[in-house]
Amino acid sequence: MQVDQALVARAFWLTRPGYGEILDESLPLPGPGEVRVRTLYTGISRGTESRVFRGEVPPSQHQAMRAPFQQGDFPAPVKYGYCNVGVVEAGPAALRGRIVFCLYPHQDRYVVPAAAVTPVPACVPPGRAVLAANLETALNVLWDAAPRLGDRITVIGAGTVGCLIAWLAGRMPGCAVQLLDVDAGKAAIAAQLGVRFVAPDQAVAEQDVVIHASGAPAGLAVALRLAGFEATVVEASWFGVRSVGLPLGEDFHAKRLRIQSSQVGAVATAQRGRWDHRRRLSTVLDLLDDPVLDHLISGESAFAELPQVLAQLSQNPAGALCQRIVYAGASRAMTDFQ
């Protein structure tokens, strides 16, 4: 493989649990059918990336949790991430100069197969497109939950994924959606998304669909309490190495409840015969054409600050949603979009 010595990429590596660095690496020349992308923005998928940062990927899940372009192995050293938006600098003529999304880690330039990038629609600002991976998860969760028109739907956990699930569910005619969180400050984002915010002691029970996305075991217990007779509780959280205790001795059996996991790595069962990952991601990028979603970007930092930013986010600060990481040239891309 040829290497252009004039191009040195800078990438974030978790060098040991709880500590990351930005390191230099040589960038290969793109071969036939490959593209070189200059990153404009990445997003931090806070729940998963915080657990990775803390070294909380169970050994049994080291292979299953690998990101598409991950380098290294858990717990560390590892280069991990999957919310990357950039501009194609080199590659097939049809893609050169296009803004694209890729499931690539935090790195300022990279080379991947052209099939690994998806063009961002012209109507979607590049900075908003970092939400694509989280919105893809939200869409898959709703497919697994299979709500019907007019359903009472509860989403527990007003993080980025929970907010996106509630936003999608709130667009279904006749559905009454309540977004539940222990942080009262999340009421503002719920109002912006057009759904009702509730604290745990305010929530309406007898729900048709309950989706748990808080990442806290106590939230799953609340989900069981709110579910109606023969309802399904969809578990969208990933707990890593944490054990979860549930009150199954209460009315879990009497209400004939079902707990179903949901994970974005496989297209939801009901859709799998007709949908693949590319169709799902393209649909998600189209769905991002809504300015209200900009409210889910709760902070912005320069790429050089990423080691400190991830360390802070791994402590689960209140109010944090999607943290956007900004790379050289990003402001010019936003100006061109406008």
pLDDT in tens, 124-173: 999 999 999 999 999 999 999 999 999 999 999 999 999 999 999 999 99
Give yes or no: residues 91 and 157 share one domain: no
* Residue carrying the six token digits 């029970």: 205
Assess if residue 34 is contained within a domain.
yes
Give yes or no: residues 19 and 102 share one domain: yes
pLDDT at position 300: 97
Assess if residue 83 is contained within a domain.
yes
Assess if residue 29 is contained within a domain.
yes
Assess if residue 297 is contained within a domain.
yes
Give yes or no: residues 138 and 259 share one domain: yes
pLDDT at position 47: 87
Q: Of 244, 271, 298, at which residue does a domain stop?
A: 271
pLDDT at position 40: 98
Give yes or no: residues 154 and 227 share one domain: yes
Assess if residue 129 is contained within a domain.
no
Give yes or no: residues 95 and 139 share one domain: no
The stretches in the chain having pLDDT less than 50 are: 1-4
Helix (H, G, I), strand (E, B) or coil at 234: strand
pLDDT at position 317: 86
CATH code of the domain covering residue 257: 3.40.50.720
Give yes or no: residues 139 and 247 share one domain: yes
Q: Are 134 and 304 in contact (CB under 8 A)?
A: no
Structural domain containing residue 188: 134-271
pLDDT at position 32: 96
Residues written for the chain: 338
pLDDT at position 3: 46
pLDDT at position 4: 46
Q: Are strands 84-90 and 34-44 parallel, antiparallel or unpaired?
A: antiparallel
Give yes or no: residues 73 and 159 share one domain: no
Q: Of 242, 271, 300, at which residue does a domain stop?
A: 271
Q: Are strands 78-79 and 34-44 parallel, antiparallel or unpaired?
A: unpaired
CATH code of the domain covering residue 319: 3.90.180.10
Q: Of 271, 302, 329, at which residue does a domain stop?
A: 271
Give yes or no: residues 153 and 219 share one domain: yes
pLDDT at position 6: 55
How much is the pTM? Answer: 0.94
Q: How many domains does the chain have?
A: 2
Strand 258-261's sheet: what is its strand order?
196-198, 176-180, 152-156, 207-212, 227-235, 258-261
Assess if residue 76 is contained within a domain.
yes
Assess if residue 283 is contained within a domain.
no
